[in-house]
Structure 1
Amino acid sequence: MMESEGIAGIEQFDSPGKGRGLRVSRAYGVGELLFSCPAYSYVLSVNERGFICEQCFTRKKGLAKCGKCKKAFYCNVNCQKKNWPMHKLECHAMCAFGENWCPSETVRLVARIIARLRHQRERSPSEKLLSLRDMESHMEDMDNEKRELNEAHIAGLHHFYSKHLDFPDHQALLTLFSQVHCNGFTVEDEELSNLGLAIFPDIALLNHSCCPNVIVTYRGINAEVRAVQEISQGQEIYTSYIDLLYPTEDRIERLRDVYYFSCDCKECSTKSMDKQKLKVRKLSDEISQKEIRDMLLEMCELSIDKMSTVFDDSNIYILHMMYQAMGICIFNEDYDGGVRYGEKVMKPYTVLYPAYSLNIASMYLKMGRLYMALDKKSTGINAFQKALAIMEVVYGKDHAYVTELKQEIRGE
């Protein structure tokens, strides 16, 4: 394979205590694009079929379906032809298995990676800094449960793809599934809905911080890295691997479970937001962390009204319940109820999440659309404009999501 060509303004280095990392060789301002990376391989979620093009991930009406399997949809013939080398791995199998065709997204993605590796002779545009083969696997850190999951994935791969794919040896498959487990990205839209799963080797070099200075967003099948803080020359680039709403103990547990490390960022060291995230109303006796956790175990059986006698509205566990209630209201077309819960969620979100957060932007979008459905146009426009201010930073001003939202604001 040819040597890596690098990315202007970005350099790989050994980050103290973190292994490989990326830093900037010049300063970047808020909203500035540091670099983009096309997906090395990707799969569209089965739930999105018929709504999004399998090749370019464009959401549009009137997509044309594959004439053979009738399950894959495309913008046009050009997209269909480009996607055929990957779709053919599934097309025949879907026809053969019918309703019994049910590999996981991870299995589907690994099948496509294997197919691409078989024919790859030089580094792809997704590997300017790191080749896919050199991604971290953490094989030695896996517990028995994860090892068993990998074995189940391998069995699924053989079951659904053996007729159309030559597999590497068992150990190579274990390594590849482990790499995907640690480095796979869930591709999301502007409302953070899951569109599919992808691998971006260069972006896998970004280290984690609960105080990130960049955010990763998606433009079709390309991932983009944009600054959400001012970044000085020589400074390391950090993204967040996890949802930042949760308190330090929960975040660290999640990072250890999936990525095998503990975070030592400023927020994890100071736990400055934990008090608010776990805030309780004043009680006659001091309530312990164990009592809070015992109460949370019963969350599914408690109503929000009952919980609110104990938890403050900014407590992240009741926020989670209210967010779920908002979703149920929207599903049931109870838009007044959706607004009621959404407004309770919105204020704490703007305090607990970083300023340029996709979680905040998606909430403003949802609220704007609810207000519009209730003929509260000026309130809806105001919510859209707040979403737009964040989206222009995290997606860039020329992104399709930004353009579409501007059209929505203008009533087009």
Structure 2
Amino acid sequence: MARIQGELFCEIGQGRGIRCNKKGSSGIEPGTLIVKEEPYSYTLTDGELLRTRCHYCLKRLETSVSCDACRTAKYCNEECKKTAKFHHTPECRGYSRLMNLPEHLRVMGRILYKMHARKTDMGALGPLSSLVSNVETLKNCEEGITSLDSKMECLSQHMEKEALPDRAFMEEIYGKIASNSFAILDENMCSIGIGVYPQASMINHSCKSNCIGMFYGPQIQIRANEFIRPGEQIFHGYIPPLLPTAKRQEKLLKTYHFLCQCADCRNTERDRLMRCVKCPDCSEGVAPNAGSLCTVVCLSSETIIKSTFRSTDGVFKTCESCGFANFDADFYEEMDILIEYADNILDKEQAEDILFTISLSK
């Protein structure tokens, strides 16, 4: 684990974060490595990936070597199996049962086994000490304490009893995982796992970030994607920046328990421009009328986002480039067809947003 660039700070009004060094720095150039870190704990996301990827390096399995004891942990070769032994030994007896749990509880179980085995070398929370837990917020959220209790009870039933700490400690650990975990992405930017990265978690969020995280197996590398001035705070985007503001804020509030008020979240014109469509006549962009928002209906039973542009006043009126104004019922009907298509082929949370980049040319 290493923070290559930047310094940790804690200031009233800004809280804790990482910024470019104020002294002795000429700034951070684009592409510069800021953080390089192995996860404190991690897991693959689902049953299929647990069968088809190495549990240590996360590469796709061509052939596999299993742990001799639990037979559940799978590795791509003997080298990975040998290297993983230090981390796997404390959890081996309970590993098979852990892998039947949801991903956040799996990560938590691995942490608890690690803490139990090495409690003489570590503080109460070790590298997790500096991470926020938001436990009280979790208890007061929509699902509330009942959900948190059920998660802790579920984990307790799937772990060796001697590795379980008291309930308050378990809740604290779970809160830290839920509030600070990263989705681990493969080379195609698809999520294949989650991990806890204490150093990377020190970087605060902004929808207009100045760095980007990339994964090399389970290792995260965070690099600057623009010039960062001395003393300027380093920001990482926790969620896709192309989601509309309301959707970004909703997702951040639900997952990370804060309401983002960054420059992009305060820029209402940005959302309007994101909703441009291609003019059927001249191919230039046509923005929706100011104050005219798309209607979004969530079909929660199917977890599908269904959007519509239908409006009695018309969401789109006139193309400023060519004067085209025939945004009639057929236009909105075609939009609905494209929305349904997007719903069926995309990640459901992204289905709403693909509409604004689809060509509507006849």
Under TM normalisation by the shorter chain, which class is it?
Answer: 0.7 to 0.9
Partner residue of 2:153 out of 133, 152, 155: 155
Partner residue of 1:135 out of 103, 125, 131: 131
- TM-fit CA distance, 1:78: 3.1
- The reply to whether residue 176 of structure 1 matches residue 173 of structure 2 is yes
Equivalent position amino acid for 1:150 in 2: L
- TM-fit CA distance, 1:228: 1.1
Mapping 1:284-323, distance limit 5 Å? 288-289=292-293, 292-294=295-297, 309-310=331-332, 322=342
Q: Determine the C-alpha separation between the residues in 2 that align with 1:287 and 1:24.
A: 39
Q: Determine the C-alpha separation between the residues in 1 that align with 2:208 and 2:341.
A: 25
Q: Determine the C-alpha separation between the residues in 2 that align with 1:239 and 1:294.
A: 30
Equivalent residues of 2:2, 2:36 under 8 A apart: no
Match of 2:345 in 1: 325
Per-residue deviation, residues 42-92 of structure 1 (Å, max 9, x unmatched): 112332134321112233412223345443221222322333455456654
**Change in 2 beyond 3 A, CA 1:28/1:19:** same
**Change in 2 beyond 3 A, CA 1:258/1:191:** same
Match of 1:216 in 2: 213
Uncovered stretches (5+) of structure 1, i.e. residues with no partner: 329-343, 350-412
Per-residue deviation, residues 270-320 of structure 1 (Å, max 9, x unmatched): 2232103345799xx99854x71359999959799999833897x9x9679
Match of 2:164 in 1: 167
- How much is the aligned-residue C-alpha RMSD, in angstroms? 4.2
Give the strand-richer structure, 1 or 2.
2
TM-score by length of 2: 0.73
Mapping 1:87-166, distance limit 5 Å? 87=88, 91-93=92-94, 102-118=100-116, 119=118, 131-142=127-138, 143-144=140-141, 145-163=143-161, 165-166=162-163
- TM-fit CA distance, 1:346: 11
- TM-fit CA distance, 1:131: 2.8
Mapping 1:7-406, distance limit 5 Å? 7-15=3-11, 17-25=13-21, 26=25, 27-45=27-45, 46-84=47-85, 86-87=87-88, 91-93=92-94, 102-118=100-116, 119=118, 131-142=127-138, 143-144=140-141, 145-163=143-161, 165-279=162-276, 288-289=292-293, 292-294=295-297, 309-310=331-332, 322=342, 324-325=344-345, 348=357
- TM-fit CA distance, 1:246: 1.6
**Change in 2 beyond 3 A, CA 1:197/1:40:** same
Q: Determine the C-alpha separation between the residues in 2 that align with 1:251 and 1:345.
A: 15
**Change in 2 beyond 3 A, CA 1:232/1:77:** same
Give the helix-richer structure, 1 or 2.
1
Per-residue deviation, residues 239-275 of structure 1 (Å, max 9, x unmatched): 0111222211221122222222222221111223210
Q: Determine the C-alpha separation between the residues in 2 that align with 1:312 and 1:17.
A: 48
Equivalent residue pairs, number: 319
Fraction of identical pairs, as percent = 24
**Change in 2 beyond 3 A, CA 1:171/1:253:** same
- TM-fit CA distance, 1:172: 0.6
Equivalent residues of 1:308, 1:318 under 8 A apart: no
Match of 1:333 in 2: none
